[in-house]
Structure 1
């Protein structure tokens, strides 16, 4: 199994990667801090004074502003392939009162930054209603149904993917190499030195020189603790014996 385009789009948009906003009537893209709520709607944390706040100000007669959130994957390692790029289009409106307080809690679930304490004063929170989602990977562009995007869930390992891969490389390289060779069987070459270069809830991608292979977990994992439980028989030499 592999993540679906909708799941990858939700993962990229979740808030762990930098984003820029292309805002209607503004000539240039602007960096923006964001996360997504449980429905995949982006929440934008914006200083109340500055270019971004001015650009998001609705035109006379409107309550919201059209924009496109542009997010590119940043691979965890230099040798890791990128997941792609997602564009989330819609309309953003500034929240106030109870809506702003509830959105601040949603934001803190992903990024508990100190600026959330200043929402309503020096910081404002905007929520995007999603109208269109486009996902690009390897120069292939796909339209994702907004309902499929909303129903998908971001990958639970993305925020700690770098740490997990680094730990496997630093402390479990031999065990992982043995495991990969057993899984690949005759397809593995003696000179291969498998290295994990990407991890997600469904499995991991290993690179062996110029070749790569994807190995699936017996089931999707729910978080990094579940992953540790699943990998324990592989990484523990005594268990493997």
Structure 2
């Protein structure tokens, strides 16, 4: 399974929603605290792009000792329609500073130097060491996950449903099953959510024999899963 640091790094570098929580800014609209872009530097620092007049920029500019304590909160929502669509959240706390002259006119780049982080997702809740976060790599499929899950759901729904035949005795918990949808995908495997209604859900994880490295390897593993379900 992916480590907590890898899962957090994947969320930070994904397209999931993010807001910057700043002391005293509770009444601001979420869009005012949402970066236009974000990236992770070689030492684990997080770069956040904002309009030059955004509240986080003003707060960082006027912070005492030029450092502002903030928390970057990330929320991961399943890209297909399933009950309980929030798949996880991550929080990165650190010091925020401005980097003048880095961004184009009208924008300001902010740097978040993490001192603690945590994640609470489908794998569980874990604290994340900042050094481990800096050394971690995002999942190699993260840039394609949304498209792949939506394609599986729209074009291969029946094959996804057939994966229940691989669950053995656990399949008894799936009756009656109303909806089946691919919930999450990473280099280690595929997670499916079976639902008999909004209050009766069952997740099943289908692990690959070996972690895949790219979309080509993923396609081969998915075909292997579908063939096993039909046999």
What TM-score, normalized to structure 2? 0.76
Contact persistence 1:175–1:234 (CA under 8 A): no
* TM-fit CA distance, 1:96: 4.5
Contact persistence 2:14–2:142 (CA under 8 A): no
For the residue of structure 2 that corresponds to 1:169, the secondary structure is helix
Distance 2:19 2:161 in 1: 39
Match of 2:115 in 1: 131
Distance 1:216 1:120, change over 3 A: same
Q: Identify which of 216, 223, 230 aligns with 2:221.
A: 230
Distance 2:120 2:27 in 1: 21
Question: Which of 23-32 and 202-211 deviates more?
Answer: 23-32
Cα RMSD (Å): 3.1
* TM-fit CA distance, 1:57: 0.7
Which structure features the higher share of strand residues?
Answer: 2
Question: Which of 81-90 and 31-40 deviates more?
Answer: 31-40
Distance 1:26 1:177 in 2: 46
Unmatched segments (≥5 aa) in structure 1: 101-118
1:204 aligns with 2:160: no
Match of 1:73 in 2: 76
CA deviation vs aligned residue, 1:141-178 (integer Å, no higher than 9, x gap): 54221122222222233333232122112222333344
Contact persistence 2:13–2:138 (CA under 8 A): yes
Contact persistence 2:51–2:108 (CA under 8 A): yes
Distance 1:214 1:236 in 2: 17
* TM-fit CA distance, 1:44: 0.8
CA deviation vs aligned residue, 1:109-139 (integer Å, no higher than 9, x gap): xxxxxxxxxx24211212211111122348x
Match of 1:185 in 2: 168
Q: Identify which of 52, 57, 64 aligns with 2:61.
A: 57
Distance 1:179 1:51, change over 3 A: closer
Distance 1:84 1:36 in 2: 20
**How many aligned positions are there?**
215
For the residue of structure 2 that corresponds to 1:32, the secondary structure is coil
For the residue of structure 1 that corresponds to 2:81, the secondary structure is coil
What TM-score, normalized to structure 1? 0.74
Q: Identify which of 32, 36, 44 aligns with 1:33.
A: 36
Contact persistence 1:8–1:83 (CA under 8 A): no
Contact persistence 1:15–1:34 (CA under 8 A): no
Distance 1:224 1:82, change over 3 A: farther
Contact persistence 1:18–1:33 (CA under 8 A): no
